[in-house]
């Protein structure tokens, strides 16, 4: 820690004058002063005063009458201009949004009188200073629109081009939905709070979001943003926390959810039990002055207590079967005679019982408790407890120096148990985020902003058996070691119950969720210098950050044994005999300690070339240093010899996992032209880069000897492997054939490159603004994965291993960075505001996204053919042709002045969010290795002359399953992503009633009732797309639940 602190301080001194944090939020008021003849007024004094805090900032108009006052916090401002020989003028209540450059021009009159001009704070302003794509979601919408789980980022859908996964999931604000835009992957984005990143370094997600009541507003930028923003190639979300003011303000609240008032899920029909959810979200905020006009504080607390139970059923072995009596199989509708794997059959289906099998199932699997359908009914349980505290302090030393700090702490506790209650894991997720900003005004035209911050997260999900006296050997199972029988034993910190899978029955074991460790740390230092010179606003800066992540990646940490029925004809009988069909050796819980330096420099010139034309001219240069692993567990293949070998030697560092690239130069060009005071044409071109998340590195730890796993296949006749000796010497290959992962053979890794171009026409109609845009996006060097780099050609004869290109290895998963994508869209954004009463936003996109890979490498993205074939290029997985979102907040007018009657009919609000979108493409695969090439991503053949589209789409027949046939000798003819899944049509609504407090007009009590999926319309998930499975073409779940209700009470002051 001391070395890290020293490094951080040295970095501060080194970069103070030239480094800028890429997510710095530049919010400004700017404009031009002219006299009645139209001539510019130079040397005028412009004073901007915050209505909330009373703090003022002063600027002067330059030789061309221009002024610019920057680095303001969102809120209401009064703007006053004075000049010798002219009357002063003032505009009151200018409503400034996050990241907005609000244009406030003055025409001052000759004379000495004072003119006061008031403007409505809710009046939408045309964006006439920038070509950036995006939208600002203000506090009126974040506070009043219905949010299931109170996750503010769900409102990002009010931005054109944005898609949010699972926007109605009830999970807490610590498990936010993924946000993507303009066809880009959600992991390319950036989310920061007060300019400090909140992203986890492993998978580029956010583990904890701030409470909605602590957010002033947030800005979603989807493309062509200023050169000061970077390290992302997708959405750029900036969140502004609330701050204190000269008066005390705050709230106290509680939101309640209970399944008793929720509708049944479409697939949970009576008499099945409904999912159980009892959830309370509660807390409060308070802000105010410490010293008036000088020092302010803001504090927020939010807690969550949630109990969720998901009922489920399964088949479990009966007492007779546990004693070896399977005679009941002979009397069922389709009798089953058990085979003796050593010859003949078992008389009367009575089998000898393996002592280990019997002991484990008696201890760890419950007996039947139901006589209808499957013979066991239970539920999985998730108990969630979250506590979050946020503190922000703002201090103004004098007119030239001010500072703010914030600290966010979240602690999430999430123990979880499966349907088999004997297998649980504990989950704890502490998170810390801290920020400091120091603003120094050298002159009104030269301002410097210094930021530094840190984001720390520690995800810890472990089996309840970890770090105890438990060992796999204590179960009677021997030889389960990392890397095979001659490998190493699991340490106490890696122990867990191996998976014992019994096809068609409730099994045993801790899955990989019980071995998830992730300690992510990001340290940031930044500085931003803004110089206003005439018609030019020049910004200089850069970025300096250290990203660290200690994390696990595994598939079978404790090993597994699968009993499939291949031995006797019945999976339960296989288990009781103790003969698994396959066994996979443990991988353990290795930890990669990934480290990376990321730096950037930029220059931006916002040039007001004429009174009507503004040019945005910028360039950014980023460097992602090659990551490295300080734990020395990462290995990759060296292809410099005909027979590749793993490198480096065990215990040595894999320096420079890939070659550094110096080509990440990102131009940002844009224009905004005001044809009339109410018509603006904007356009631009921008290039962005993304250096990837650490999951690309963590998977290299799965290579032997750190975590190499082997799959043992037991012969169906004369089986050798048993439950107690799952890896016998006679079945262990010598030498062993390990599955491995490798970086590209040439070790080159160009960073993800995204080019965005747009043309937008904006028109103001009274109190409404309509933006219509064409948006195009081209992606290059996308993260992909050649999952079966070592697969032989399909249809071959003989064992797969002997036919592999590199027969000394089993599967080889090759990371690849040649993916490509394209997105074109017509986007529209309409916003209407009627003073403070009505706020309506309508967003529509008609788009088409194409790519040749639909997922990141850590999410299983692959090519079904191990070539970069042109026919892999198809509609992308995130493609949604139509997307319509309507958000409205209506504070109904005051109907009467009568106090008694007004208590009933005044103070009502009707708010809602309507989401209508098309479905996303479906990729059809086949479930068996019929091509004999060890490729589980195979596609079937299309049946010639048979349409794959169902005449009438239903949940049981979404597409025509008869249009497909098994592919055996060649690659299947089914195109990638050739079908489309169900869309979403849902309405979330809220009714609120404010009760004014008689003792203080600024205090009110608010009751609110919210309904999610208010029309109770089933929102189907995608159907099964694996040809050969029983669910092929059928839908068995919903993407969101049927109608759910939430009640809340808030006290606001």
The model's confidence at residue 15, banded by pLDDT at 50, 70 and 90, is very low
Token pair belonging to 717: 């006749």
Q: What is the pLDDT of residue 166?
A: 52
Q: What is the pLDDT of residue 871?
A: 66
Question: For the whole model, what pTM was predicted?
Answer: 0.89
The model's confidence at residue 24, banded by pLDDT at 50, 70 and 90, is very low
> Per-residue pLDDT tens for 676-693?
999 999 999 999 999 878
> Per-residue pLDDT tens for 646-677?
999 888 888 778 888 899 999 999 999 999 99
Q: What is the pLDDT of residue 115?
A: 53
Task: Tell me: pLDDT of 95 over 90.
Answer: no
> Per-residue pLDDT tens for 253-312?
999 999 999 999 998 888 788 889 999 999 999 999 999 999 999 999 999 999 999 888
- Looking at the DSSP bridge assignments, the partners of residue 853 are none
Q: What is the pLDDT of residue 1?
A: 43
Q: What is the pLDDT of residue 245?
A: 92
- The average pLDDT across 722-751 equals 88
The model's confidence at residue 856, banded by pLDDT at 50, 70 and 90, is low
Instruction: Give the C-alpha separation, 610 to 32, whole Å.
Output: 11
Token pair belonging to 483: 């890397």
Q: CB-based contacts of 199: which residues, under 8 Å, 6+ apart?
A: 190, 191, 205, 206, 455, 522
Q: How many residues are recorded in the chain? A: 1053
Task: Tell me: pLDDT of 16 over 50.
Answer: no
Task: Tell me: pLDDT of 862 over 80.
Answer: no
Task: Tell me: pLDDT of 389 over 90.
Answer: yes
Residue of 72, 74, 75, 73 whose CA lies nearest to 46? 72
Instruction: Give the C-alpha separation, 914 to 984, whole Å.
Output: 10
Alpha-helical regions (H) of 324-426 = 355-364
The model's confidence at residue 471, banded by pLDDT at 50, 70 and 90, is very high
Instruction: Give the C-alpha separation, 567 to 558, whole Å.
Output: 24
Burial bucket for residue 951 (CB in 10 Å: 0-12, 13-18, 19+): exposed
- Provide DSSP, 685-723: EEEEEE---THHHHGGGGSTTTS---EEE--SSS----S
Instruction: Give the C-alpha separation, 290 to 244, whole Å.
Output: 9
Percent of the chain with pLDDT over 70: 93
Task: Tell me: pLDDT of 880 over 60.
Answer: yes
Residue of 459, 466, 455, 468 whose CA lies nearest to 414? 459
- The average pLDDT across 432-459 equals 95
Task: Tell me: pLDDT of 870 over 70.
Answer: no
Q: What is the pLDDT of residue 559?
A: 93
Determine which of 176-180, 195-199, 545-549, 609-613 has the lowest per-residue pLDDT on average.
176-180
The model's confidence at residue 863, banded by pLDDT at 50, 70 and 90, is low
Better pLDDT: 340 or 794: 340
Token pair belonging to 80: 């006053």
Q: What is the pLDDT of residue 938?
A: 82
8 A C-beta contact, residue 1037 and residue 1006: no
**Unique residue bearing structure tokens 């160009």:** 750
The listed range with the strongest mean pLDDT (60-74, 528-542, 832-846) is 528-542
Determine which of 482-491, 559-568, 577-586, 712-721 has the lowest per-residue pLDDT on average.
482-491
- Looking at the DSSP bridge assignments, the partners of residue 44 are none
8 A C-beta contact, residue 596 and residue 544: no
Q: What is the pLDDT of residue 170?
A: 40
> Per-residue pLDDT tens for 553-585?
888 899 999 999 999 999 999 999 999 999 999
What is the H or E stretch that residue 321 is in? Answer: helix 319-322
Instruction: Give the C-alpha separation, 387 to 301, whole Å.
Output: 7
Is the CATH number 2.60.40.1120 carried by domain 19-118?
A: yes
8 A C-beta contact, residue 92 and residue 118: yes
- Provide DSSP, 166-235: STT----TTSPPPEEETT--GGG-EEEETTEE-B-TTTS-BS-PPPGGGEEEEEEEEES--TT--S-SS-
The model's confidence at residue 56, banded by pLDDT at 50, 70 and 90, is confident
Burial 265-304 (b: 16+ CB within 10 A, else e): bbebeeeebbbbbebebbbbbbbbbeeeebebbbbbbbbb
Q: CB-based contacts of 1046: which residues, under 8 Å, 6+ apart?
A: 146, 148, 255, 256, 257, 1009, 1010, 1011, 1012
Task: Tell me: pLDDT of 114 over 60.
Answer: no
Classified as helix, coil or strand, 511 is coil
Burial 1008-1028 (b: 16+ CB within 10 A, else e): bebbbbbebbbbbbbbbbebe
Q: What is the pLDDT of residue 187?
A: 84
Instruction: Give the C-alpha separation, 1036 to 1019, whole Å.
Output: 11
Instruction: Give the C-alpha separation, 856 to 698, whole Å.
Output: 14
Segments making up each domain of the chain, as ranges: 19-118
> Per-residue pLDDT tens for 888-947?
999 998 887 777 777 788 999 999 999 999 999 999 988 777 778 777 678 899 999 999
Average pLDDT score over the chain:
88
Instruction: Give the C-alpha separation, 186 to 406, whole Å.
Output: 27
Cβ neighbours around 930 below 10 Å, total: 18
> Per-residue pLDDT tens for 614-646?
999 999 999 999 999 999 989 999 998 889 999
Q: What is the pLDDT of residue 708?
A: 79
- The average pLDDT across 752-772 equals 95
Percent of the chain with pLDDT over 90: 59
Task: Tell me: pLDDT of 123 over 60.
Answer: no
Token pair belonging to 134: 């995006």
Q: CB-based contacts of 893: which residues, under 8 Å, 6+ apart?
A: 837
8 A C-beta contact, residue 680 and residue 672: yes
Instruction: Give the C-alpha separation, 699 to 707, whole Å.
Output: 10
Instruction: Give the C-alpha separation, 111 to 88, whole Å.
Output: 9
The listed range with the strongest mean pLDDT (40-54, 354-368, 932-946) is 354-368
Token pair belonging to 665: 């130069």
Q: What are phi and psi of 1000, to 5 degrees?
A: -160, 120
Q: What is the pLDDT of residue 22?
A: 35
């Amino acid at each position: 820690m001391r070395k890290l602190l020293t490094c951080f301080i040295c970095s501060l001194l080194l970069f103070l004058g030239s480094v800028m944090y890429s997510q710095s939020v530049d919010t400004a008021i700017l404009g031009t002063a002219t006299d009645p003849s139209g001539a510019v007024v130079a040397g005028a004094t412009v004073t901007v005063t915050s209505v909330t805090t009373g703090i003022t900032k002063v600027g002067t108009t330059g030789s061309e009458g221009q002024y610019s006052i920057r680095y303001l916090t969102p809120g209401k401002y009064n703007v006053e201009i004075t000049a010798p020989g002219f009357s002063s003028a003032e505009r009151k209540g200018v409503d400034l949004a996050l990241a907005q450059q609000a244009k406030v021009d003055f025409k001052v009159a000759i004379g000495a009188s004072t003119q006061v001009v008031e403007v409505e704070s809710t009046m939408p302003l045309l964006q006439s200073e920038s070509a950036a794509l995006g939208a600002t979601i203000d506090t009126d919408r974040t506070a009043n629109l219905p949010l299931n789980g109170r996750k503010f980022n769900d409102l990002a859908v009010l931005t054109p081009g944005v898609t949010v996964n699972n926007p109605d999931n009830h999970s807490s604000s610590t498990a936010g939905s993924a946000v993507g835009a303009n066809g880009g992957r959600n992991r390319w984005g950036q989310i920061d709070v007060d300019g400090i990143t909140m992203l986890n370094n492993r998978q580029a997600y956010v583990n904890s979001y701030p409470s909605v009541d602590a957010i002033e507003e947030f800005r979603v930028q989807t493309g062509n943003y200023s050169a000061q923003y970077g390290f992302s190639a997708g959405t750029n979300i900036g969140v502004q926390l609330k701050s204190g003011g000269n008066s005390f303000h705050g709230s106290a609240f509680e939101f309640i959810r209970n399944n008793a008032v929720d509708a049944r899920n479409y697939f949970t029909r009576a008499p099945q039990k409904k999912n159980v959810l009892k959830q309370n979200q509660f807390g409060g905020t308070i802000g105010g002055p410490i010293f008036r006009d000088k020092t302010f504080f803001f504090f927020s607390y939010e807690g969550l207590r949630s109990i969720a139970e998901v009922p489920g059923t399964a088949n479990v072995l009966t007492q007779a079967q546990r004693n070896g009596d399977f005679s009941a199989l002979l009397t069922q509708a389709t009798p089953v005679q058990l085979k003796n794997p050593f010859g003949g059959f078992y008389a009367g289906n009575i089998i000898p019982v393996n002592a280990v099998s019997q002991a484990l199932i008696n201890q760890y699997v419950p007996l039947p408790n139901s006589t209808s359908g499957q013979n066991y009914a239970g539920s999985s349980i998730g108990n969630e407890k979250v506590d979050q505290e946020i503190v922000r302090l703002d201090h103004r030393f004098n007119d030239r120096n001010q500072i703010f700090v914030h600290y966010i702490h979240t602690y999430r506790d999430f123990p979880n148990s499966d349907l088999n209650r004997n297998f649980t894991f504990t989950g704890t997720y502490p998170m810390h985020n801290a920020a400091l900003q120091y603003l120094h005004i050298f002159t009104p035209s030269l301002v410097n902003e210094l930021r530094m911050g840190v984001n720390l997260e520690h995800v810890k999900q472990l089996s309840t058996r970890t770090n105890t006296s438990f060992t796999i050997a204590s179960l009677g199972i021997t030889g389960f070691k990392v890397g095979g029988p001659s490998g190493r034993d699991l340490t106490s910190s890696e122990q867990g119950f191996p998976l014992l899978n019994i096809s068609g029955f409730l099994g045993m074991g801790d899955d990989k969720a019980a071995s998830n460790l992730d300690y992510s740390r990001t340290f940031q230092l930044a500085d931003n210098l803004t110089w206003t010179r005439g018609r030019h606003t020049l910004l200089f800066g850069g970025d300096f950050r250290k990203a660290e992540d200690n994390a696990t990646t595994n598939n079978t940490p404790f090993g597994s044994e699968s009993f499939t029925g291949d031995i006797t004809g019945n999976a339960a009988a296989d288990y009781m005999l103790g003969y698994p069909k396959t066994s996979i050796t443990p991988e353990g819980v290795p930890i990669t300690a990934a480290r990376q330096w990321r730096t950037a420099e930029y220059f931006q010139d916002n040039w007001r070339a004429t009174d009507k034309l503004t040019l945005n001219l910028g360039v950014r240069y980023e460097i992602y240093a090659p990551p490295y692993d300080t734990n020395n567990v990462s290995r990759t293949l060296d292809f410099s010899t005909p027979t590749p070998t793993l490198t480096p030697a065990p215990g040595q560092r894999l320096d420079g996992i890939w070659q550094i690239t110096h080509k990440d130069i990102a131009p940002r060009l844009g224009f905004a032209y005001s044809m009339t005071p109410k018509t603006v044409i904007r356009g631009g071109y921008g290039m962005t880069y993304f250096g990837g998340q650490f999951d690309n590195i963590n998977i290299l730890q799965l290579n032997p000897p750190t975590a190499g796993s082997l799959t043992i296949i037991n012969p169906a006749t004369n089986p050798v492997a048993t439950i107690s000796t799952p890896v016998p010497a006679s079945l262990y290959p010598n030498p062993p054939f390990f599955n491995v992962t490798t970086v590209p053979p040439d070790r080159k890794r160009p960073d993800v490159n995204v080019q965005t171009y747009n043309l937008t026409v904006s028109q103001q109609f009274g109190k409404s603004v309509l933006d219509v845009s064409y948006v195009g996006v081209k992606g290059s060097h996308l993260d992909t994965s050649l999952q079966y780099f070592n697969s032989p050609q399909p249809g071959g004869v003989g064992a797969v291993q002997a036919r592999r290109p590199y027969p000394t290895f089993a599967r080889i998963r090759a990371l690849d960075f040649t993916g490509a994508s394209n997105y074109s869209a017509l986007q529209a954004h309409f916003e209407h505001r009627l003073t403070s009463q009505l706020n309506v936003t309508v967003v529509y996109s008609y788009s088409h996204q194409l790519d040749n890979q639909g997922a990141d490498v850590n999410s299983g993205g692959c090519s079904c053919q191990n070539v970069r074939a042109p026919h892999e290029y198809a509609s992308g997985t995130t493609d949604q042709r139509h997307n319509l979102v309507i958000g409205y907040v209506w504070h109904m007018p005051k109907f009467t002045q009568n106090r008694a009657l007004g208590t009933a009919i005044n103070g009502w609000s009707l708010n809602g969010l309507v989401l209508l979108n098309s479905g996303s493409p479906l990729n059809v695969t086949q479930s068996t290795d019929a091509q004999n090439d060890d490729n589980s991503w195979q596609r079937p053949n299309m049946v010639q002359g048979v349409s794959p589209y169902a005449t009438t789409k239903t949940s049981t027949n979404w597409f025509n399953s008869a249009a497909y046939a098994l592919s055996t000798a060649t690659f299947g003819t089914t195109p990638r992503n050739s079908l489309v899944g169900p869309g979403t049509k849902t309405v979330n609504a809220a009714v609120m009633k404010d009760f004014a407090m008689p003792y203080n007009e600024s205090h009110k009590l608010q009751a609110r009732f919210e309904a999610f999926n208010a029309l109770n319309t089933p929102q189907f998930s995608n159907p099964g797309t694996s040809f050969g499975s029983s669910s092929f073409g059928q839908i068995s779940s919903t993407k969101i639940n049927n109608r759910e209700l939430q009640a809340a009470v808030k006290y606001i002051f």
